[in-house]
Amino acid sequence: MDEVIRVEGLTKNFGQLQVLRGIDCSVKSKEVVCVIGPSGSGKSTFLRCLNGLEEPQGGRIDICGRTLVNEGQMMGDKELNALREEVGMVFQSFNLFPHLSVIDNVTLGPRKLHNMSRKDADALAHDLLKKVGLGHKAEAMPASLSGGQKQRVAIARALAMRPKVMLFDEPTSALDPELVGEVLQVMKMLAAEGMTMMVVTHEMGFAKEVADGVVVMDGGGIIEAGDPNTIFSNPS
Ligand code: ADP
Ligand code: MG
């Protein structure tokens, strides 16, 4: 069907340590899937495999209509670079470029990778910054922003590449509690617009409200998967 992500038998080792023990999972177009589970269960490693930041040992990943990994073999670098433009990623720690203004953080990708003119890139960035509630911060430097504002810039930056899917790795875990809501609000808006999303999160309220599917990881495997109502009210 219209699956944007399909993962079969994905395994990943760091040296002797098996961190992913055969992950099977799929995400359809416009679905939001939340990944939950204790620290060290392999959530970040799984997400990183989905845009080729980690090289798995085995299994298969199809994403955005391309085969990223087949029998543990990754696609070539050129293809990988093209794929990464379609797979947006937002990290816990924002990872903004500290020496660039907010708008330059957002326009860098489209200008360098999509050869967009500065004028067009600036217009796109202004639209996206407005969308995440930061239209007034275009000229600010990242250091002057709150954590919640930084993360919203990071989301705008990812969206500037017009991704087909967005991966979020604990996007609110580094934030003071009073700043969590503004970031979740932006993510809810993206979900409502039909963005396909995979979100590692501890925010159970968000998962219950927004997720179409919830995946529970433990010890490098998926121990449960289903719709949020079943997972939260009737966990096996
Ligand atoms: P989670 O995101 O669920 O907390 P991670 O995917 O970060 O889990 O980590 C899963 C396991 O893999 C942990 O035991 C962690 O220590 C280990 N691990 C993660 N990254 C590396 C790495 N680059 N080298 C070695 N071990 C790693
Ligand atoms: Mg993690």
Minimal CA–CA distance to 235: which of 9, 92, 36? 36
The one-letter amino acid at 204: M
Each residue's pLDDT expressed in tens, for the chain with a length of 236 residues: 599 999 999 999 999 999 999 999 999 999 999 999 999 999 999 999 999 999 999 999 999 999 999 999 999 999 999 999 999 999 999 999 999 999 999 999 999 999 999 999 999 999 999 999 999 999 999 999 999 999 999 999 999 999 999 999 999 999 999 999 999 999 999 999 999 999 999 999 999 999 999 999 999 999 999 999 999 887 76
Residue 79 phi, psi dihedral angles, 5° rounding: -60, -40
Q: How far apart are CA 205 and CA 180, in angstroms?
A: 12
Question: Ligand 1 test: best mutation among 10, 16, 45, most atoms within 8 Å of CB?
Answer: 45
Residue with CA closest to ligand 1 atom 11: 40
Question: Ligand 1 test: best mutation among 19, 43, 89, 215, most atoms within 8 Å of CB?
Answer: 19
Question: Is this structure's pTM higher than 0.85?
Answer: yes
Residue with CA closest to ligand 1 atom 21: 14
Burial-class residue 117 by CB neighbours within 10 Å (0-12, 13-18, 19+): exposed
